[in-house]
Each structure stands twice: as C-alpha cells, then as structure tokens.
Amino acid sequence: MLRAAGRRASPWWIGAAFFASLAAFAVWYFVTKCGTGWPTATESAVSGDDTAAGSPDRSPIAPLLDDTRQTAASLLERFPDDPRVWDVAGRLRYLQGDTIAAVEMWEKCLQIEPQYLEARIAIGTLQFESGRFADAEQTLLAAFLQAPANGRAAYVLASTLLNQGKLEETVEVLQGHLSIDPQSLPSQVLLGQTLLQQKRPAAAKECYLAATRLAPTYANAWFGLATACSRLGQTEEAAEYRRKFQQLQRNELQQGMDQTRGYSDLRTTGETVAEVYVTAGRIYQERGDDADAERHWQRALTLDDANLEARMELAQLYQRQNRPRETLAVLSPLRESRPDDPRLWLETGRLHARLDQFELADQAFARVVELTPESAQGYAARAELRVQCQRDAAEAVQFARQAVERQPSGPHYYLLSVAAEQQGDRSLAIDSLQQAISADPGNPQYQRRYHLLRTPR
C-alpha cells in the first residue's frame, strides 16, 4: 500500500488548532532536538552574501559562520568525493537561510551516495514545509523504506500523507515505526490524531495514554486524551484530562516566556556549528589526520561544552593515543550530566587506575556496583583493581566471588584464581582455575597458569 501512495492524491486541510500546534511540535522536535542532515559546490557551496566584515549591522553570529565557511571550503577542496563534506557545506547554507542552495547540496550528496539518508530526509522536510506534499511524499517514502526506524523519516512522511488525506497510509507508516520504536512520542501523538480523524477514539485513547506515559508534561497529549474520552462518552475522564491539559498549557506558556527571555541566537547557532565540527573531525580522523580531527573536536567543545559526540570522539582518540590524563579530563564533566551512566563510571575508574589513583578508581567502580548491583562488571573491576595493585587481597577475593556469582565466566573465575593466590589460598586458586578451563578449554593463558599452580614449589 505504501509503495503506491505516491500515485494517489486528494486534497486535505487540517483546521483544528491542536493539529496545527502538533505540526509545530514536529518541526521543533526533529529539527532542534534531533537535527537534520543539512549539504554546495566548492566555493559557491560555502560562500554567502553576509553583511561585509566590519559593518556595524553585521550579526554577532557572523564570525561563527565565517569560521565554519573556511572549514567547509577546506573539506571540499581536500575531499570532494565524500558526501558528508557536501552535507557540512549544506548545513552552513541552511544556517544562512539559503534553502535553495542547501537543497542543491543535498542533491549533490545523493549523486555521490544515493542512499545518503540524512540528505533525503532534509530535502523531504523542506518540501513538506513549503507545501509540496506530493514531492515530499516521494522523497520521504524512499527514506522511510530505507530506514523505518528513523523517527524523522516516519514522522514527516506521515504528516505529508495526513495533509493529503491519506489516513490509511498514515496509520500504516506510524504503526510500522512504533513497532520498531514504541518510545517515539511524536509518532504516538500523530497516530492518535490520525485515529481520531478515522473516528476510532478507543484506539486513539491508547496512543494518547502511551504519549502521556512517555512525556507526562506534554500538554497536547492530554488534550488529545481528553478529546478521545469525550468522543467515547467518558465525560468524567475527559473533564479530568482537560483540566490537566489546561494546567500544563499554563506552565508551557510561562516556560516559553522564560525561554524567550533566555534565548541566545549566538548560543543556539554555536551548538549547531559545533555539529559541523564534529562531522569534520570524523572525516579527518577517518583519513588518518588525527591532529586535524582533534582540533575540530576541541573547537566543537569550545562552542558547545555539552556536545556529547565531540567529547566521546576526543576521549576515544586519546585512548588510542595512550593519553589517559587527557581522556579523563574530557570525560570527567560527563559525571555531572550523566551521573547514572554505569559505562561512564566504569571507564572513568579504569582511567584513574592507569594513573595509579587507587582511591578514585575504586570510588568510580563502587558507583558502578551501586548503579548495577545485579551485574558482574562493577565487582570484577573492584577485584581486578586490588589484584593489579596487590593490596587488600581478602577484598579482592570477596569482589571476585561476587562477580562469579553474577556471571560465572572464564575471565571471572580466572580473576578469582589470581586473587585467591595472592591471598595465599592455593586450593581456591586451583579450583577456580579449573572452573575457568571448563568454561573455556582452549584458552592457553588458563592452561599455562594451571600448569604453574600444579607444579610443586
């Protein structure tokens, strides 16, 4: 049914204020929250008609764009056959407001790499926003069939179909996406809207209930829920949900006023430009130029200290270069923004251990245990730390036992064997090593150690 959708068209107009606000929500959610892939031709690709440098009317964001323009020009000169380079240049054109040139760059992306998903979604989104629904449908259908898990492709395609009155196709797209990603708030809300259009309020109610669980403070989800209940004749529930909607709407209005007062065009542009530097760094790194990659990722963090991708790329680069102190410096700020991420604490602990910072390493590993008490990784890390430092042998054995209890694997039995030998418990060391060999009979390290333990001293 979806493949034939582009051949059928019927006029449609959605007049309800709720639907209009939902469309605005989509643009905000997928452009500002998720980003869109954004691609020129060398100098024309990165040049623009900004106000001349030095002019009193020059925007404060102009220096940012100037800097990025130089980055894009350098990439285009060195790697013109890489579609991501055109993507970077196109993002710049989009920031300048030149959507026509941006589309040309995305089309160049697709000439080089016909399956470049972000270019398809970006072109389709602009076609949708300009009211070219038939063109948008064709572009976005290809993107959705290529990647049905992609939330932006699914949502904007569904919106395009809905604006043409193709309700069945809209439902098919959204249900297909939700079968892969049931946590997609935009798809749940838009599916609820479409089901109301189909006069299926019971099914719509389920979608809105799911949406309120995903985002309890999103006012329009409660409005849709109230509407569905009203059409089902559930007047008391409808009244309750309507009151909830009105309360949240007042809160959103106040928050919107606060955000407007605190809005910084320079900061927002800096965050977007930082993404350009992240992409540029990846291109340089893949071409073997670690120095330029590092410079671009550092620049990204200068513009947007909260950019997780730039931070993780730098951390991985420093890890490969055996620079634990720099790796730790890059990762440490994440402990405040991601305090409940056990992987971050585990990596932080390992870095402290490499720097011979026992107490800090053990504190990080203890945090892993606290966050994931049923997992073996935190216990194993605490045991291995003690084994490597040859201290607290009794604690090392205790933590290794706890790791084995949670995951009786070869490495954990081997760790217990080493800890037991350090404690002087030769019998436990041999028994644990036998368990390790049973789990992994072909492991030469286990065999060598077993032979040494069984050799009379």
- Classified by CATH at the fold level, domain 395-457 comes out as 1.25.40
**One-character DSSP codes across 406-450:** H---HHHHHHHHHHHHHHT-HHHHHHHHHHHHHH-TT-HHHHHHH
**Rounded (5°) CA angle 370-373-375:** 125
Per residue in 51-88, pLDDT (tens digit) is: 444 444 455 667 777 777 788 888 889 999 999 989 88
Taking a C-beta distance cutoff of 8 angstroms, is the pair 123, 103 a contact? yes
Mean pLDDT of the chain: 84
- Position 15: which residue type? G
pLDDT band, residue 95 (cuts 50/70/90):
confident
DSSP class of 52: P
- Position 127: which residue type? Q
Taking a C-beta distance cutoff of 8 angstroms, is the pair 365, 381 a contact? yes
pLDDT band, residue 2 (cuts 50/70/90):
low
What does each C-alpha distance from 338 to 275, 307, 386 come to in angstroms?
20, 13, 27
CA distance 74 to 21: 41
Mean pLDDT check: name the lowest of 76-85, 359-368, 396-405. Answer: 76-85
Exposed (0-12), middle (13-18) or buried (19+): which is 270, by Cβ within 10 Å?
middle
Cβ neighbours for 43, distance < 8 A, ≥ 6 positions apart:
73
Q: What pLDDT does 93 receive? A: 83
Taking a C-beta distance cutoff of 8 angstroms, is the pair 221, 211 a contact? yes
CA distance 225 to 240: 10
Residue 259 pLDDT > 60, yes or no?
A: no
Residue 47 pLDDT > 60, yes or no?
A: no
Q: What pLDDT does 334 receive? A: 83
Q: What pLDDT does 314 receive? A: 94
- Position 449: which residue type? R
**Rounded (5°) CA angle 130-20-251:** 130
Q: b vs e for 362-389, b when ≥16 Cβ sit within 10 Å of the residue's Cβ? A: bebbbbbbebbeebbbbbbbbbbbbbee
Number of other residues whose CB lies within 10 A of the CB of residue 9: 13
Q: 2-48+61-265 is classed in which CATH architecture?
A: Alpha Horseshoe (1.25)
Q: Which residues make up the CATH 1.25.40.10 domain(s) of the chain?
A: 2-48+61-265, 395-457
Q: What pLDDT does 59 receive? A: 58
